[in-house]
């Protein structure tokens, strides 16, 4: 079974064809100004996972019974002579410092006091994999406190204070992280947080059973699409994005 990435779910909402081309035509994700340049490539590719028990020791056990394992990435020092590896090392340090600063900002927020984040531990960009769900993902941060586990995503797009609502793809992304944490750790994850850089605001995301069911249904739809190997009739939700997409040459029925 193919291990889908949570990023596939997000792109499926943008345009199902993106996932189709990526898997069945080995076409890389397009990197263009009009289509979320920041997230279309993972700057930490090539990182090496750590064992799950080093991160969540209280949930030790048989990883096969839990349906997967979790890990945290790092860049190994043996590539010091390689300029690309050095750049990756600096980039990871910058990302980690940014996330740690955000964690220090939100853990003392009054509206988050009941989650005891001030007593919690932050896990930077852990790699979450579940063979049972056939799903993997890498949230920006996972906070572990006495009240449970909370996935945290950093929202870089600019929004005004009168636009607090999260997109459906963002909600599904958070619910998918919750499903992975539940499958790996065996505890219910019912809430997460989204931090918006532009206004330094944090939103509480309630991860309901209905939302998680929607994620599983979407994953099933993606698998069915890949099994059939038939180009989806559905196109991008926002048609103006098509003109920026580097996959447009594959869509002969549009152009």
Q: Could you give the percent of the chain with pLDDT greater than 90?
A: 40
Q: How far apart are CA 194 and CA 203, in angstroms?
A: 5
Q: How does residue 97 score in pLDDT terms, banded at 50, 70 and 90? A: confident
Pair 218, 16: CB distance under 8 Å: no
Residue 168 lies in domain: 4-250
Q: Is 179 exposed, middle or buried (0-12, 13-18, 19+ CB in 10 A)?
A: buried
CA angle, residues 41, 44, 49, in degrees to nearest 5? 130
Report how many domains make up the chain.
1
- Token pair for residue 48? 């090496």
Q: Quickly state the pLDDT bin for 2 (edges 50, 70, 90).
A: confident
Q: Is residue 255 part of a domain?
A: no
| Contact indicator for 69, 25 with CB cutoff of 8 Å | no
Q: Are the CB atoms for 112 and 153 separated by under 8 Å?
A: no
The pLDDT value recorded for residue 146 is: 93
More confident residue, 240 or 182: 182
Would the CA dihedral through 73, 39, 237, 2 be positive or negative? negative
Q: Higher confidence at residue 30 or residue 59?
A: 30
Task: Please check whether residue 239 lies inside any domain of the structure.
Answer: yes
Q: Looking at residues 169-182, what average pLDDT do you find?
A: 95
CATH number of domain containing 46: 3.90.320
Has residue 32 got a pLDDT over 70? no
DSSP 33-44: TTS-GGGSS-TT
- What pTM did the predictor assign? 0.75
Mean pLDDT of the region 97-107: 87
Query: 141-166, pLDDT tens digit by residue?
Result: 999 999 999 999 998 766 555 555 78
Least confident stretch, 60-69, 141-150, 198-207, 237-246: 60-69
Please check whether residue 152 lies inside any domain of the structure.
yes
Which residue's structure tokens are 């920006």?
140
- Those residues whose C-beta lies under 8 Å from the C-beta of residue 25, and which sit 6 or more positions away, are 250
pLDDT of 60 reads: 35
């Amino acid at each position: 079974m193919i291990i889908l990435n949570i990023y596939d779910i997000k792109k499926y909402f943008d345009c199902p064809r993106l996932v189709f081309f990526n898997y069945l035509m080995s076409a890389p994700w397009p990197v263009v100004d009009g289509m979320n340049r920041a997230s279309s490539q993972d700057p930490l590719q090539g990182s090496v996972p750590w064992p799950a028990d080093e991160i969540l020791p209280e949930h030790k056990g048989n990883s096969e019974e839990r349906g997967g394992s979790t890990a945290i990435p790092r860049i190994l020092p043996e590539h010091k002579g390689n300029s690309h590896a050095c750049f990756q090392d600096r980039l990871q340090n910058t990302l980690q410092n940014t996330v740690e600063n955000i964690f220090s900002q939100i853990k003392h927020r009054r509206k988050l006091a009941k989650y005891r984040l001030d007593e919690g531990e932050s896990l930077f960009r852990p790699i979450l994999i579940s063979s049972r769900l056939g799903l993997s993902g890498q949230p920006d941060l996972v906070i572990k406190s006495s009240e449970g586990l909370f996935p945290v995503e950093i929202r870089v797009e600019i929004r005004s204070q009168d636009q607090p609502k999260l997109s459906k793809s963002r909600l599904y992304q958070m619910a998918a992280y919750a499903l992975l944490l539940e499958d790996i750790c065996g505890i219910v994850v019912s809430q997460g947080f989204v931090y918006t850089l532009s206004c330094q605001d944090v939103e509480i995301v309630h991860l309901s059973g209905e939302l998680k069911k929607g994620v599983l249904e979407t994953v099933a739809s993606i698998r069915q699409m890949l099994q059939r190997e038939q180009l989806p009739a559905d196109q991008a939700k926002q048609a103006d994005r098509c003109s920026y997409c580097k996959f447009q040459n594959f869509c002969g029925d549009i152009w």
